[in-house]
């Protein structure tokens, strides 16, 4: 099975879980799909959604006369909650706090955007297309 197919399976299931309010599982699956599709977009087109995020935050920093932050810092903040759900580096039973719903939707949207960047079209998938039509208004 090719990586794009794997990512689309993960993305489809992430959307289904999101629609059933299981934001934790949705977030981890969407994050995996986003990462796979992001690397494909980077290889095929030379950029991915993380580069577009960096451009957005650079523009915001310029408008506000703030110092620009690195792409790595932006990605670290973007991936914080996903990584908290996947790892337990300190080995403690600590609280994980965050907006699971927002973060799940953000990763779903970024995965879809990475697919768009890589292939210049939406995936041919009913669940993904229904999500896009409902949430993006296309």
- The phi and psi torsions of 124 (rounded to 5 degrees) equal -85, 85
pLDDT of residue 84: 86
Has residue 58 got a pLDDT over 90? Answer: no
Per-residue pLDDT at 109:
97
- d(Cα 80, Cα 71) in Å, to the nearest integer? 14
User: Which residues form the domain of 74?
Assistant: 3-136
Dihedral (Cα; 126, 2, 80, 72), 10-degree rounding: -120
Rounded CA separation 23/60 (Å) = 29
Query: Is residue 94 predicted with pLDDT exceeding 90?
Result: no
Q: What integer pLDDT is reported at residue 138 of this predicted model? A: 62
d(CA 43, CA 59): 25
Q: Is the pTM of this model over 0.85?
A: yes
Q: How many domains does the chain have?
A: 1
Question: Is the pLDDT at 81 greater than 90, yes or no?
Answer: no
pLDDT tens per residue, range 8-53: 999 999 999 999 999 999 999 999 999 999 999 999 999 999 998 8
* pLDDT at position 36: 98
């Amino acid at each position: 099975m090719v990586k794009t197919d794997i990512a689309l399976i993960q993305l489809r299931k992430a959307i289904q879980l999101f629609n059933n309010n299981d934001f934790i599982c949705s977030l981890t699956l969407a994050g995996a799909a986003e990462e796979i599709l992001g690397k494909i977009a980077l290889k095929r087109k030379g950029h991915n959604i993380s580069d577009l995020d960096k451009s957005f935050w650079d523009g915001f920093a310029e408008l506000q006369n703030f110092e620009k932050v690195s792409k790595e810092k932006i990605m670290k903040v973007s991936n914080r909650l996903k990584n908290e759900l996947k790892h337990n580096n300190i080995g403690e039973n600590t609280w994980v706090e965050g907006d699971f719903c927002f973060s799940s939707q953000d990763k779903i949207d970024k995965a879809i955007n990475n697919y768009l960047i890589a292939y210049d079209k939406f995936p041919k998938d009913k669940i993904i297309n229904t999500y896009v039509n409902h949430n993006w208004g296309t």
